[in-house]
Amino acid sequence: MAISRARLDRFISEHCQVNRKSVRLLVAQKRITVDGVIADDVAQAVDTFSHICFDHTVLQDNKAHYIILHKPIGVVCATKDEKHNTVIDLLDKQWSDTEKSSLHIVGRLDLNTSGLVLLTNDSRWSEKLTSPEHKVEKTYRVTLANPLNDDYISAFAQGMYFSYEDITTQPVKLTILSTYVAQVILTEGRYHQIKRMFGRFRNPVVALHRQAIGELILDDSLAVGESRSLVDAEVANIFGLL
């Protein structure tokens, strides 16, 4: 859901069919509340998730939703698909069709990649998560067809040039966990970036699993295919600010 912002007087004028000058009187009469507080400024900024009441009648009560889902292989990160189940299809019945239709996916995974997927209707939150300037780390566990060696570590740390986009990737941290398994931490999400980087070594990716986004870790408490709402602390702490 795109977050729209407006002045309080404009919002009340549009929703109550009164002119904006009349809103000043309504505010002076203490007949309008925003997020449970009596409004005292017609220029106050309100947005899509502001709880707004006029004479105790609710004019707007949109809830922000933040969901973590454990995506299985074979499910697409899309809201609709004619051939495959989507992450939306996996959501519990607690979510209404209206709520589901308001969600978008934060950082998609391809069909054959499993792991942590986030869904939200708060575009400001998702934009902050995906913005290159915030450098939110994404952590993956990668299983390869061929053995790993230290050459991978330095090559990933230096970044790789992709001629198709004419870009060089940001440095990527690679840790060898075992002969065929690596942990990869990156701050970008270029098209099939991990597979293409290992492709430079002619080493096919056998399995790819996203373990974390920022400080939010997908642990064993969430089974494959399951989802849950994030708690307030998780929503804020994903950026490592708490």
The catalytic residues are 110
Q: DSSP H helical segments within 37-141, as ranges?
A: 87-90, 97-101, 123-130
192's CB contacts (< 8 A; 6+ apart) are 110
DSSP 141: E
166's CB contacts (< 8 A; 6+ apart) are none
> Are 210 and 77 a contacting pair, CB within 8 Å?
no
Question: Which of 51, 44, 56, 57 lies closest to 7 in space, CA to CA?
Answer: 44
Beta pairing partners, 86: 76
Encode 178-190: b = buried (16+ Cβ within 10 Å), e = exposed: eebebebbbeeeb
133's CB contacts (< 8 A; 6+ apart) are none
Q: How far apart are CA 77 and CA 79, in angstroms?
A: 7
